Homo-oligomer: A and B are copies of this chain.
Amino acid sequence: METRSESQDSASQQAISQIDFDKAGGVVPAIAQDYQSGRLLMVAYMNREAFEETLRTGHACYFSRSRNRLWRKGEESGNYQTVHEIRIDCDADTVLLAVEQHGDRAACHEGFESCFFRALRDGAWQTVDTRRVDPSKYGPGYGHQPKSAS
């Protein structure tokens, strides 16, 4: 995806205004998919500001609902994402990013390529992927806390 020039800003503003941020209280789900393999990497959220920053920089920027602030993916870990394409769904309330995952190529804060590393097998959620990196290398405060701790 090309980053936006000044002259493209007004067109982009019109496209942004078509995104239905209101339906879910100011954010839309943002799905990141590997631009080459099609692997579903993660689902996060974007508010308008995060979407605008993503357009401007070409790097995925989400909105962290738990931290209530912009989340520049990879800011702590180096696992940033460059955005190759952005799509929107029929209802304009979900966006789909085709991304290139950098750093340790782990989109998940638990060190897996994808947050969807568990599949239902024989009635139980089983880890079926291999962890790519031990996320403790990013420091003790890395990632969001498990729900049981919040």
- A residues whose Cβ falls under 8 Å from a Cβ of B: 1, 4, 8-12, 14-15, 18, 20, 23, 29, 31, 33, 37-40, 42-43, 55, 85-92, 94, 96, 108-110, 112, 115-120, 122-125, 144, 147
Extra 13 A-B pairs, beta carbons < 8 Å, given A8-B123, A37-B38, A38-B40: A11-B122, A11-B123, A15-B120, A20-B147, A33-B40, A85-B120, A86-B119, A86-B120, A87-B116, A88-B118, A91-B115, A91-B144, A94-B115
**Stoichiometry (number of copies):** 2
Q: How far is the CB of A81 from chain B (nearest CB, A)?
A: 16
Q: How far is the CB of A99 from chain B (nearest CB, A)?
A: 13
Is the Cβ of A14 less than 8 Å from the Cβ of B124? yes
A42: B residues at CB distance < 8 A: 89
| Complex CA distance for A64 and B111, rounded to whole angstroms | 34
Is the Cβ of A40 less than 8 Å from the Cβ of B96? yes
